[in-house]
Structure 1
Amino acid sequence: MNWETRLYLAAHPFAYPLLRGLARRGPVVRVPGVGVVVNDAALARSVLMDGENFRKDGPGSPGELWTPVLGPSVLLNMEGEAHRALRRRLTELFTPGYAENLCARVLAGPLAVLADRLERGAAVDLVDTMRLMAGAVIGEVIGLETDDYRGLFAQGERIVSMISLRTRRLSPRQVALARAVLDPLGDVAARSYTSGDEGTVMGRMRSLGLSEDEARGAAGAFFLTGTETVATFVPRLVALLTDAGELGRVAADPGLLDRAIDEGMRFSTPTPVMLRGVHRETEIGGTRVRPGDRVLIATHNCCRAYGPFDLGLTHPPELRRLWFGAGPHFCIGYPLALAEIRAVMTVLLGAAPLTITHRRAARGVLIPTYANLTVRKAP
């Protein structure tokens, strides 16, 4: 059994075998209590591109989960012109150049420490390292003044771990728990917004004409979506490259890094499923769906259909970065995630050859990950 399978089974010992079993049932499968499951990349992309029939607001959608926690205007639960208008303004905040500069500034110190420790032959836990770095970046985005990034990450992990394949909405208790974590972050974001400092993301949101409520909601959404994906991915990518015997090859040819990131994302699929609610009666691959139906895009099944981890694999158009979504809801934070991953991986590859001295799968988490992955510079 490969380590990626172990990670999924540790995180979802019952749901993961069900999810993989559904992949063998065909491109579209209706599952009582779960919804209409899409296992085919081309069909998944067509659903994600169709904002008229398949939506993130309304019954069966992600909006049912997150609106009680984040409010009504946070991209995660919006559609139509209001969504397009907000997205246009927010896109200006995360251009590739801005994301690269932000990561270079915020991570300069932590990356220097990481490089020094590796060069001295010290053992480095990449899981803990990435939690600190991802927390530092998202803390900068929100305007948070803290160095307790481990605690911050744990709080976010606690929120997203409330979600399962069957979860349609959070209970009042779960909403209260989530708001207890996110409301203080919203307060910080509001203060940063009020200051109007255009050196901060929240200050820039004010200059772009967003409201304080939109800034507060965006802070919560950035926190939930901008920490775990990056923090969990880098250790998994290092493990995949090491296990495949490809780490040295990528270290020797930096031009392969982006290909390695895309293929690592494809195989590990840090967003294993995506949700949409059906707004109008239509069909997906010959299966009729009706308003109120819940569509569960099994991103993991769509991506794994293209085989094992392979740096030589050419990704077809329908697969292109499907793990970040597609169409009007393609992840707005993609440039920031990519900049952060590149920055850390550049340091790690610069220290190659590396050897993994210890690793352990995490349990009770939504996004499969390592609880610990320790590396050391090989002698």
Structure 2
Amino acid sequence: MMTGDWERRLYVTAHPLAYPLLRAAARRGPIVRVPGVGVVVNDASLARGILTDGETFRKDGPGSPGELWTPVLGPSVLLNMEGEAHRVLRRRLADLFVPSYTEALCARVLEEPLARLTGRLRDGAAVDLVDAVRVLAGAVIGEVIGLETRTEPAYRDLFEQGERIVAMVSLRTRRLSPAQVRRARAVLDPLGDIAAKAYAAGDESTVMGRMRTLGLAEDEARGAAGAFFLTGTETVATLLPRLIALLADHGQLARVAADGALLDRAVDEAMRVTTPTPVMLRSVHRPVAVGVVEVRPGDRVLIATHNCCRALGPFDLDRPHPPELRRLWFGAGPHFCLGYPLAMAQIRLVARTLLAAGPLTITRRAAARGVLIPTYRELAVRVGRGMA
């Protein structure tokens, strides 16, 4: 297989029916009404306009993320809120993940596992980056929610629990069934108890303790911990192997390893191509024209973030992103991802460590099935020469 085909293979393997339909929608224009799906937006400028208009396009109506996640996470977790209540909670959380705190947290939590990873690579072992970054992402989210058992098996188990919940969702899912809600709550309720214990301890060096200091009630802190658990781990864990693969497939690994200043540009470009949030949902609250389409209250708007991002073209480390596209995969406006600094701190630290270990070569890889965010099932690398 040509190396440039791997990203498409990941998407098709994860969503064999929905992905071709999503890409077909892109060919029908910037915005199109699709029966049974909703109003599909394929243009970055239109998408940004919708995301920044929280009065018209909401996350708490029919067909929105609120309808999907409120039964699982409760009513107050930012991703299902709008209006003054959302603004108040967002202000309280504004200082939770400042870069200085997230960088220190990741450096502390990941120091030992990254040292072990570096040692394995420098000893000549082939390392499966998919498994490795799951452990790393589990370690960070375990620290966020206050997990007491801090071993690699515990981190793998934590990641797999979140993966099982997220895998219940497809690109076309409107709501979870009662059975799915029960399965999700069976995972999240015990984690909420762990988070509540850390919250009650009030240690300001911990994320849960910081939430208490910032004025969150216990139920708000529990809900926030659940939301971070569901949305944060897979973004990081799926992106890092795909970042390394994209750099390798386009002959850019050595260049980024030699010039650390290129890393943020490489991460942004990899996120544009991989699009960790392939679609975003909104519910229309009042009538308005979006491009050539009139939307009405109750309409479901599906922002095809992947189509918006891929319209710029294939992976290209030297092509700047236009303003309307800038980090669109993390959202825009009042719902721009609160955990962005934490995700970036993890990605930068792990990517720098991998690039510094030596010239990496991909030795084998395979695409994952049955996942929401397309990813590799396995991506093995070693230092030195090998087969891609």
Q: Could you say what secondary structure the match of 1:295 adopts? A: strand
**Which residue in 1 is equivalent to 2:144?**
141
Deviations 1:192-249 (A, max 9, x none): 1111111111111111111000011011101001100000100000000000000000
Q: Which residue of 2 aligns with 1:278?
A: 284
| Matching residue's letter, 1:365 | V
> What residue is the counterpart of 1:61 in the other structure?
64
Matched, 1:372 2:375: no
1:352 Cα deviation (Å)?
2.8
CA contact (8 A) 1:357 1:374 kept: yes
The answer for unaligned runs of 5 or more in structure 2 is none
Tell me if 1:227 matches 2:233.
yes
Q: Does 1:90 align with 2:93?
A: yes
Q: How big is the alpha-carbon RMSD for the aligned residues of Structure 1 and Structure 2?
A: 0.8
C-alpha distance in 2 between matches for 1:110 and 1:263: 27
Match of 1:358 in 2: 364
CA contact (8 A) 2:146 2:198 kept: yes
Which residue in the other structure is 1:328 paired with? 334
Q: Tell me, yes or no, if structure 1 residue 43 matches structure 2 residue 46.
A: yes
Give the one of 174, 197, 201 matched to 1:195. Answer: 201
SS in 1 for 2:48: helix
- Aligned counterpart, 1:114: 117
Shift of 1:76: 0.7
Letter in 2 for 1:255: A
Moved over 6 A (4+): none
Residues of 1 paired with 2:253 and 2:13: CA distance? Answer: 25
The letter for the 2-side match of 1:19 is L
Are the equivalent residues in 1 in contact too, given 2:171–2:372 (CA < 8 A)?
Answer: no
Q: Secondary structure at the match of 1:261?
A: helix
TM-score, scaled relative to structure 1: 0.99
Counterpart position of 1:309: 315
C-alpha separation in 2, matches of 1:165 and 1:97: 35
Deviations 1:123-164 (A, max 9, x none): 111000000000000000000122311111111111111112
Cα distance in 2 between the residues matched to 1:265 and 1:326: 15
* C-alpha contact (below 8 Å) 1:33/1:166 kept by paired residues: no
| Match for residue 205 of structure 1 among 205, 211, 225 | 211
Q: Does 1:80 align with 2:83?
A: yes
| TM-score when normalising by structure 2 | 0.96
Distance 2:274 2:222 in 1: 31
Residue aligning to 1:12 = 15
Identity over aligned pairs, percent: 76
Separation in 2, partners of 1:67, 1:302: 27
- Superposition pairs of residues 237-276 of structure 1, within 5 angstroms: 237-276=243-282
Aligned length: 379
Instruction: Name the CA distance, whole Å, in 1 between partners of 2:94 and 2:119.
Output: 35
The answer for the alignment partner of 2:132 in structure 1 is 129
Aligned to 2:349: 343
Amino acid in the other structure paired with 1:42:
S
Residue of 290, 296, 301 corresponding to 2:302: 296
